Structure 1
Amino acid sequence: MAGSAADIRDRAEEWPVLSSVTPFQGRVTGVRTDEVRMPDGSAARRDYQVHPGSVAVLALDDAQRVLVIRQYRHPVRQRLWEIPAGLLDVPGENPLHAARRELYEEAHCKAEQWRVLVDIYTTPGSSDEALRIFLARGLGQAEGERHQSEGEETEIEVAWVPLADLVRLAFAGELHNPTLVTGALAAHAMLGGGGPEGLRPADAPWQARPFPA
């Protein structure tokens, strides 16, 4: 049993995989079935989504407002408020570069100051998706033409909402996107603690999705 805060940290570990198949592979993600050797010697099947990883941006202005977008999410049949986010679907891409791109494409916005806000696994019981949420400050309108959206992204709505309101709405059960809720609560805790200077730099190593320096 862990006895101090120094012991409370995740660690890499892998139980033996006896067999592995991919019964479905889509354009970006797939489903893998592994037969895993358990500590007691038995075997168990684990089905999970194989995911390239994601980045998201909690863009916070000087008035403590957050840039949020709303778009339709078919699996849950809802139009959800979210923060700009996207896939790490370019092999070897630096996560910060991907985050800058998503902020530009989804909101035509740029930022001068970047920090890592928090790293999470979105649903570790059923997917290997790793998500890095950046804090972006020093915001302004991006130069050049707006990104030409396609498909469901043409329906995106953009708003600036006070961070305190997002926290209140999350606790009230009115907001459900995990990236938005996690980012808002982390930013709220950050402002009440050491501030942005206490966060990791934007190029901090990411064990879940290593990238070239």
Structure 2
Amino acid sequence: MNLQERELSRETKFVGKIISVDVTQVELPNGQKTEREIVTHPGAVCCLAINEQNECLLIKQWRSPLNRLSIEIPAGKLDATDESPLSAMKRELNEEAGYQAGYFEELNNFFSSPGFSDEMLTLFYCDTLTAAKTKLAADDDEFLEQMWVDLATAKQMVADGEIVDLKTLFALSYWETMQLRSATNG
């Protein structure tokens, strides 16, 4: 069965600092027509940053859409259409936490919410962290606090509902899998 929808038209309804919102008219596989509301986003990066004590870097910040504090891995959006995910991740790690890393590995690409948004995130792993020689300033509207936690503490924070951010849950799952593989390989 062909599940592909055919886009008939697209109209931009809103353009903001981070996102834009388009309304598209599509033809469904059965020939019927409907509308889709699509949030377009430049893309983002996030990283599982692990220190020498085998702790993960987490960032606390207020998230207005949730009306609550959120605890997340370091992350941010691509600032320019030609900025590479790795360059963006290095910048964000410095801006949000004041660190640089001697090693980065791209782990995965994933979509945050494909039902209505095209935002693709690139997840990196990094270690060999050192204080950045020159700390970049965080965005004017960002107020951040950092913390380091081991895997057991992170898992408890998930169980207690303290960590509810999907990219962070995904990264913590990767970290747990990495540790399990390391333990079985010896």
TM-score higher than 0.5 here?
Answer: yes
- Structure 1: 4+ residue segments shifted above 4 A: none
Report what 2:40 is aligned to: 50
Residue aligning to 1:162: 150
Matches within 5 A, 1:133-212: 133-144=123-134, 146-153=135-142, 155-193=143-181
Residue 54 of structure 2 is aligned with which of 46, 53, 64?
A: 64
TM-score (norm 2): 0.90
Distance in 2 of aligned mates of 1:107 and 1:86: 12
- Give the unaligned 5+ runs of structure 1: 2-12, 196-213
State the percentage of identical aligned residues. 32
* DSSP-derived class of the 1:21 partner: strand
Cα deviation code 1:124-158 (max 9, x no counterpart)? 001110001100011111112x32334332x2111
- The 1:85–1:193 alpha-carbon spacing in structure 2 relative to 1, beyond 3 Å, is same
1:116 paired to 2:80 = no
Aligned CA RMSD, in angstroms, stands at 1.9
Contact 1:112 1:138 in 2 (8 A): yes
Unaligned runs of 5+ in 2: none
Q: Does 1:75 align with 2:51?
A: no
Equivalent pairs, count: 182
TM-score, L = length of structure 1: 0.80
